[in-house]
Structure 1
Amino acid sequence: MLKNSFFNLSLRGSTLLSKFLLMFVLAKYLEPGQLGIYGIFVSAIAFSLYIIGMDFYIFNTREILASPKENHLNLIKDQFILHFILYLFIFPLLLFLFYFHILPLKYLIWFYLILIVEHLSSEFSRIFVTLEYPIISSIVVFLRNGAWALFVIIYIYISTIKDLEIIFYSWFIGGFVSIVISIFILRKLLLIKVVKKVDWKWLRKGCKNSLRFLISSISLASIEFVNRNVLKIAYSNELVGIYTFYSNITNLIQVFVYTAIIMIMQPQLISLFQKNELEKFYEQKKVFNKRIVLSSFLLGIFSIIGIYPILYLVNKPIYSTYISAFWILSLSTVINVISQVFYTSLYIRRVDSKIVLSSFISFLIALIMNIILTPSLGIYGVAISTLVSSIVILVLQYYFDKSSQKEY
């Protein structure tokens, strides 16, 4: 058990380290303008993932945990059929990203290829977590996010060619390999189960349920998408590149807490609550809450201290000029992570409408503040908007959680 936990943590740690090193190398060897284009591309992928995924996994996670093992394969199969149908309708709509010059037209093929492998791989990794195979999930995540990044780091370091094509090529290969391995392992795990016809009634129910989460997720993803594009319109890709560098480093706090704590403990908490083992549930929930709060604060302090040697090694004064924005973004991320305590509580007790409402209000505030502040304050306007929206979602979810517990 201890050996498995150590191996799982090592895989997750390697993925985080790879992502950090990739951002460091990109900041050092690419021009800020190129990094800005990459940042907008990444945010466009993240935004689009929510639309084509429809957050159906949130509904299906609870369904899988509440159903007998013999029905797991059918639930998974029906989910992926829904995604393939969504591809047919959503993919043409995403052309607006290129029509309005949010992304350069030359990256259109890369955008769709990476979007497909990123989405399918993400769904597989979530399924493995739900089925309580965290190590397999970690392997899939490492292939999708870590392994290819190591190749890019080495390539950019030794090559005279410094462009985005090699990043997109490697990203696609990493995602594709993770999908092939996921399908192979999933077949081994679920091969003996009986496959039934598509349950369209269940899919309709899931879509109706997932729409609420979709509004919430798109609202949160839109904050980052709006941040970078308002900054691009008001200023330049160069400033977007600086923001991308800082936000990716602070985002490692959130990724670490999610992979090391939330991803592991959340399915256990859901299962305990659904089985009505409330005494164990509340004991585990206390541990969950303490770990999130403590780790987010420690990582926030570590990031603020650690940014200085990173900037020294990057050796580009333009990044150091905006160091105050990094402090604001770090605080924003810590607050965002702490809000997961109340989000998880609401999610487990199925108070979905409050999750949606808090996310949507947070997005509206971020949008309004971005429009007002960014043209005059630049990257500081974006950072302040993000901080305020993070505080809003924390306060709202805290309030909704306490109110709903009284009702419950």
Structure 2
Amino acid sequence: MTLDGMFGARLMRVANVSLRGLTLASKFILLLVMAKFMTLSEVGQYGVLAATVSYALFILGLDFYTYSTREMLSVDQILWPSLLRNQAAFFAVCYATMLPVFYLALKWSDTVSERLVLWFLVLVVLEHLAQELTRLLVAMSRPVSATVLGFLRGGLWACACIAVMVVAPALRNIETVLIAWVLGSLCASCFGFACIRGLPWSVATKRPVDWRWIWRGVRICTPLLVATLAIRGISVFDRYMQGYFAGDEALGVYTFYAGVANAIQAFLDAAVFSFLYPRLVKGAKSEDRSIFDAAVSQLTRATVLTTTVLSFVALVGIKPVLTLLRKPIYAEHFGMFLWILSGVVLFSLSMIPHYVLYATRQDRAILATNLISLVVFIVAAPLLAPHLKSLAVPVALTVAFGTMYVSKLALCRKFGMRR
């Protein structure tokens, strides 16, 4: 029996939310420990590296899951191993071609310090494997297993790292964090492979790799990839812009506040979207408008309620956290947190029309809105920098995500869909 099979529907939801909450709590406490024991420069450096790894994941896999997931949900499960082998062959090609490019780009550009380049390459491979396995488990309707994998990937290693940094002052550095991160991603990948070992893999061995299917997927997922790179690019460029316009110390503060606010989006991904977006896709395919509308309404209620509650908790809880840090510079930039939180709330709400457009295959509409939002951010941040200084990037972030939310909502209405 699988891990998910041991839980009823209600217990499954509770287990999923609890594990995700524990993962986020672990990450938050790690961020707090880093802010307390490490310099602002090191915190900022970690923020840049983590954002760059996150962005590189999309380039490495070309966001192929946006195609493969819809294909898997459209066929009988007996065919899944063949599709997964096709996907594995595609990723092998991606690794062979993209990793050397990443290495050369980082060496030439000095984007990441030389001592962190190899860490980056190891992390991007392990994180990509763990990410794709998580998405696969979600598509297989095994959200508890996906959340356990997520806890190994982002929670358990953070707990171990916290303990080490608390008891061993000599190990309070970025290398300790990266070692723990690598071990966590490795454990998560191993767990994910163990979860899918029960699939009928013998079926896949009887079929050759379908390169036509792969090429079709590349053509289909390319618009979504560009859309993802555009919107995720904001969460990478903001670090670089903050460091450029406001300096290393302001970058460290920004990294801390962004980590706190982004926990809302991370929680939504596991507690809301991982459960509900497959229902939205199936509702769109069923051609039964009542099923689709019910799925949209459920997604809307869950997203709005969860975002509201978590935003309130963040606003109430951040002040005691700043007191614990005993570093006045964080409190001095509290306005930065308010703007970052506003941007995250708008981004979270924009995921409602985003998933509606995704489920109904309006890929070009998603691409257009994300590109517009990226342009708004890139233009707004430099224009605001001379006037707002350290607040320029957070304000530009909020404006960009507000633009994205309004434009996606308008497109949903244009295509005659409910929010």
TM-score of the aligned structures, taking structure 2 as reference length: 0.94
- The 1:364/1:46 distance shift into structure 2, 3 A limit, reads same
Which amino acid is the alignment partner of residue 255 of structure 1? Answer: A
Tell me the number of residue pairs that the alignment of Structure 1 and Structure 2 aligns.
Answer: 407
Determine the C-alpha separation between the residues in 1 that align with 2:90 and 2:381.
35
1:106 aligns with 2:115: yes
Secondary structure of residue in 1 paired with 2:169 = coil
- Return 253-262 or 192-201, whichever deviates more: 192-201
Task: Measure the CA separation in 2 of the matches of 1:80 and 1:406.
Answer: 35
Q: Distance in 2 between matches of 1:288 and 1:231?
A: 34
Q: Which moved more, 1:115-124 or 1:298-307?
A: 298-307
CA contact (8 A) 2:16 2:271 kept: no
Aligned partner of 1:171 in structure 2 is 181
2:97 is aligned with 1:86: no
CA contact (8 A) 2:283 2:295 kept: no
Residue identity in the other structure for 1:294: L
Partner SS state of residue 156, structure 1? helix
Output the CA distance in 1 between the equivalents of 2:417 and 2:238: 37
- Cα separation, 1, equivalents of 2:179 and 2:404: 37
Corresponding residue for 1:354? 365
User: Compared with structure 1, are the counterparts of its residues 194 and 229 closer, same or farther at alpha carbon in structure 2 (3 Å cutoff)?
Assistant: closer
User: After the TM superposition, which residues 203-218 of structure 1 pair with which residues of structure 2 at under 5 Å, given as runs?
Assistant: 203-218=214-229
Q: What TM-score do you get using the length of structure 1 for normalisation?
A: 0.97
Specify which of 281, 289, 312 is matched with residue 301 of structure 1: 312
- C-alpha contact 1:219 1:363 (8 A) present in aligned 2: yes
Alignment deviations for residues 67-97 of structure 1 (CA, whole Å, 9 cap, x no partner): 1111111111111211121122222222323
2:353 paired with 1:345: no
1:136 maps to which residue?
A: 145
Distance in 2 (alpha carbons) for counterparts of 1:386 and 1:305? 22
Contact 2:245 2:390 in 1 (8 A): no
Q: Which amino acid aligns with 2:174?
A: L
Q: Taking structure 1 as reference, are residues 354 and 64 closer, same or farther at Cα in structure 2, changes over 3 Å only?
A: same
Matching residue of 2:163 = 154
* 1:32 and 2:43 aligned: no
Q: Distance in 2 between matches of 1:374 and 1:225?
A: 17
Tell me how far 1:57 sits from its aligned partner.
0.5
Query: What letter corresponds to residue 175 of structure 1 in structure 2?
Result: S
Name the CA distance, whole Å, in 1 between partners of 2:284 and 2:63.
21
Percent sequence identity over aligned pairs: 26
Q: Report the Cα offset of residue 222 of structure 1.
A: 1.2
CA positional deviation for 1:375: 5.0
**1:186 aligns to what?**
196
Q: For residues 45 and 20 of structure 1, do their structure 2 counterparts lie closer, same or farther at Cα, with a shift above 3 Å needed?
A: same
What does residue 391 of structure 1 align with? 402
* 1:192 CA displacement: 5.1
Corresponding residue SS for 1:251: helix
Aligned AA for 1:150?
C
Structure 2 residues without counterparts, runs of 5 or longer: 1-7
2:366 and 2:408 in contact (8 A); partners too: yes
Query: Which shows bigger deviation, 85-94 or 32-41?
Result: 85-94
Q: Note the C-alpha offset of 1:191.
A: 3.6
Deviation at residue 139 of structure 1 after TM alignment: 1.1
**Any idea what SS the aligned residue of 2:317 has?**
helix
User: Quick check: 315-324 or 182-191, which moved more?
Assistant: 182-191
What does 1:45-60 correspond to in 2, within 5 Å?
45-60=53-68
Q: Name 2:134's counterpart in structure 1.
A: 125
Q: Deviations over 1:192-247 (max 9, x none)?
A: 54432111111011001111111111111211211111222234222111000001
**More deviation, 329-338/220-229:** 220-229
The answer to whether the aligner puts 1:257 opposite 2:257 as a matched pair is: no
Offset of 1:331 from its aligned partner?
A: 1.0
- My pick for the range that moved more, 308-317 or 277-286, is 277-286
Q: Do residues 12 (structure 1) and 17 (structure 2) align?
A: no
- 8 Å CA contact retained: 1:212, 1:353: yes
Q: CA deviation at 1:189?
A: 3.1
Match of 1:237 in 2: 248
1:152–1:166: 8 Å Cα contact kept in structure 2?
yes
| Counterpart-to-counterpart distance in 2, 1:40 and 1:375 | 23
Query: Contact 2:81–2:199 at 8 Å: present in 1 too?
Result: no
- The code of the aligned residue for 1:355 comes to I
RMSD in angstroms over aligned alpha carbons? 1.5
